[in-house]
Amino acid sequence: MTKKKPLVVVTRRLPDLVETRMRELFDARLNVEDKPMSESEIAEAMREADVLVPTITDEISAGMIAQAGDQMRLIANFGNGVDHIDVTSALRRGITVTNTPGVLTEDTADMTMALILSTARRLAEGARIIPRAAGAAGRRPGCWGGASPASA
């Protein structure tokens, strides 16, 4: 006798690799249109699913958690933090809430380096000067004519 796979409802599109793996492991109900689910759609999914995979744009309130089916055991947030989930209500119902800690570490480091480099190279100042210089040279604003050794 084969054991029934848990029903996992995913509220938004996830990376293809993640969705492919979910299809292999679970009875996955994916949001292939990537249209935000309404509160009532999420509440309905929680009545049926074993696992809900929301993102940070999905508000999971105490009222929605109260409507969850008895089989609901996990809200696995695909994102950093759980501020949009009523964790206290979930725990009272025996529903575990998880997230993906560290998911933004690399992106934050990338942005930090970009800001450091843009400050050191005065990129924001250059971005303001180029349109004005183009207009002064008779070109339409935003159209940079290139650089030459004489313009340096």
Task: Tell me the pLDDT tens digit for each residue of 23-65.
Answer: 999 999 999 999 999 999 999 999 999 999 999 999 999 999 9
Task: Tell me the pLDDT tens digit for each residue of 91-143.
Answer: 999 999 999 887 777 888 899 999 999 888 888 887 777 766 666 666 666 56
For the record, the structure tokens of 100 come out as 């993906």
For the record, the structure tokens of 126 come out as 């250059």
For the record, the structure tokens of 14 come out as 């996830």
d(CA 90, CA 129): 53
10 sits in which H/E element: strand 7-10
d(CA 92, CA 142): 57
Q: Flag whether the pTM goes above 0.85.
A: no
The pair phi, psi for residue 105, each rounded to 5°, is: -60, -50
